[in-house]
Structure 1
Amino acid sequence: MSERLVEPPAVWADLRTRTGPALLVSRVGTFCLVELQKLRHDRSELVTRAVQPILWLVIFGTTFSHIRAIPTGGIPYLDFLAPGVIAQSALFIAIFYGIQIIWERDAGVLTKLLVTPTPRAALVAGKAFAAGVRSVAQAVIVVVVAALMGVAMTWNPLRLLGVVLVVMLGAAFFSCLSLSIAGLALKRDRLMGIGQAITMPLFFASNALYPVEMMPGWLQVVSHVNPLTYEVSALRGLLLGTPTSYWVDFGVLVGSAVAGIVCAAALIGRLAR
């Protein structure tokens, strides 16, 4: 990343005139824009990252729809699966977000950012928000493909806005989890190994592919402490109208995102030592 992208003089001059909450919000927005500039320079990333979730819908979804081996409460399995694939695509984007910050550490960019008056929470929140925007962009692709395959989803604007919020909160938590792991692992190879080790367990220990009631007892316990479960439940409720407790779903997602930002902000300084 060029230094010009990280420290735009006009932006930093404007930020120095602000204090308190305005300063924090401005810097979160600045870091988010810096992150999204990377996506503008490599737009093919959205297409390549969308291949895997589309394959889940096209191959896994259609196959298990014909088998009818998973009880979904009267909902076609492809409809049941689509919200889980949306959550999965956001997870797969966010869980390796820590690799970027290790690269920034190696390039000397992170050290420059940490010596500015910027709160570390603003840096983390900006990256988490950017991960959410990337996840929403990919979720749009998955929703379009699911609609073309005949998935009966709502097109109510308020519910779709809720879907955007749910995807962003889920991506924020998992990106902060990745940043926290980066602060502990310190090396890209270690982070890749840990990320690969936890991604599929998080996915399979959720209700993305099958109802929680089908799981063995011990896995149900794991599922109930897995934020991905609440993300999928909220997405199913918003898109398909299945019963869920939105207060619980959003409460867990908001609490997880806030806790993730706090934890990542506390650990990110280890990368600059």
Structure 2
Amino acid sequence: MSAAPAAPPPASAEGRGLLLTPPRSRPAWRLVPARVAAMCVVELQKLRHDRTELYTRAIQPALWLVIFGETFNRINVIPTGGIPYRDYLAPGIIAQSTMFIAIFYGIHIIWERDSGVLTKLLVTPTPRAALVAGKAFAAGVKAIVQAMVVLVIAALLGVTLSWNPLRLLGMIVVVVLGSAFFACLSVTIAGIARTRDRLMGIGQAITMPLFFASNALYPTASMPDWLRVISAINPLSYEVDALRGLLLGTPANLPLDFAVLVVAAALGITAASALLGRLAR
């Protein structure tokens, strides 16, 4: 006759206390950054499985630098302060290419809404601002990869750039902040449009005006007065100004540029968070 199985040892008082007492909640100043980082990692996992977007996105900036930059570098009709136009154009193309990646980021949000992922995310304890910020800064990290591709192309074309590590770090911060703003703008538009077709139409309608109403292709001094006003409120202008100052060493108001980009990213996260629930309905 087999012996009866031995009874499990009684749980100690300390063990029972761990089971009955809920873990202490982390303060918001630790919880929100952790959730932002987690959402950012989730978004970047998608990039590991499909890098096609990065390769195809590198074609357009290469064409701008090779065709547009080389042509206008020869005819020398745009005042650039004594630097070759190809060099003057390179930071503008970095800003343009990263903006074009971020401005259609709302399509991912709509896809997540259609597949039910967004509804599951919204019922988690993660604040909506943390969800939006995680996705926005993930777009910024993707933009860093794109910016590095443009830097390599520019270097191969003979563009004179600064390779100072501190200046490159500043460039990364500028690209992340600028891309975060445009990604949040895309999510805000998605919350209003609520369909991919409408978002694509609005995105295509505003990308080129944002690009041409900035100092990416020409200095603001060459613009008519009404276009200067638009350029002054266009965050892309401040991103390009900061990139030129960091990469080319041209005169730039870096404190103002960084301040505008930080405020723009914060306002973008706030607006996108407010409309995220409307998108999920």
> Which TM-score band (shorter chain)?
over 0.9
**Stretches of 4+ moved more than 6 A in 1?**
none
Structure 2 partner of 1:60: 68
- Per-residue CA deviations over 1:93-141 (Å, capped at 9, x if unaligned) read 0000000000000000000100111100000000111000000001001
1:17 to partner: Cα distance: 5.4
Pick from 30, 50, 60: which aligns with 1:42? 50
Alignment of 1:124-143 (within 5 A): 124-143=132-151
Change (3 A) 1:16 1:211: farther
Residue number among 183, 188, 192 corresponding to 1:184 in the alignment: 192
Q: CA deviation at 1:18?
A: 3.3
Deviates most, 16-25 or 56-65: 16-25
Quick one: which of 86, 96, 100 aligns to 2:94?
86
Q: Which residues of 2 match residues 165-204 of structure 1 at below 5 A?
A: 165-204=173-212
CA distance in 1, matches of 2:164, 2:220: 27
Q: Deviations over 1:51-101 (max 9, x none)?
A: 101110011000110111111010100000000000001100000000000
CA 1:16–1:83 in structure 2 vs 1: closer, same or farther (change >3 Å)?
farther
Partner amino acid, structure 2, of 1:73: G
Q: Which runs of 5+ in 1 are unaligned?
A: 1-14
Identity of aligned residues (%): 71
Does 1:242 find its partner at 2:250?
yes
1:149 maps onto 2:157 in alignment: yes
In 1, Cα distance between equivalents of 2:222 and 2:29: 46
1:19 to partner: Cα distance: 3.7
CA shift for structure 1 position 44: 2.3
Code of the residue aligned with 2:144 in structure 1: it is V
User: What is the TM-score when the length of structure 1 is the normalising length?
Assistant: 0.93
Structure of higher CA gyration radius: 2
CA distance in 2, matches of 1:187, 1:17: 38
Q: How large is the Cα RMSD of the aligned pairs?
A: 1.1
Query: What do the CA deviations read for 1:31-63 (whole angstroms, capped 9, x no partner)?
Result: 101100111100122111111011100110001
Identify the residue that residue 11 of structure 2 maps to in structure 1. Answer: none
Structure 2: runs of 5 or more not aligned:
1-22
Distance 2:24 2:211 in 1: 42
2:263 corresponds to: 255
TM-score by length of 2: 0.91
CA distance in 2, matches of 1:20, 1:220: 41
1:7 corresponds to: none
Name the CA distance, whole Å, in 2 between partners of 1:242 and 1:267: 39
Q: How many residues align?
A: 259
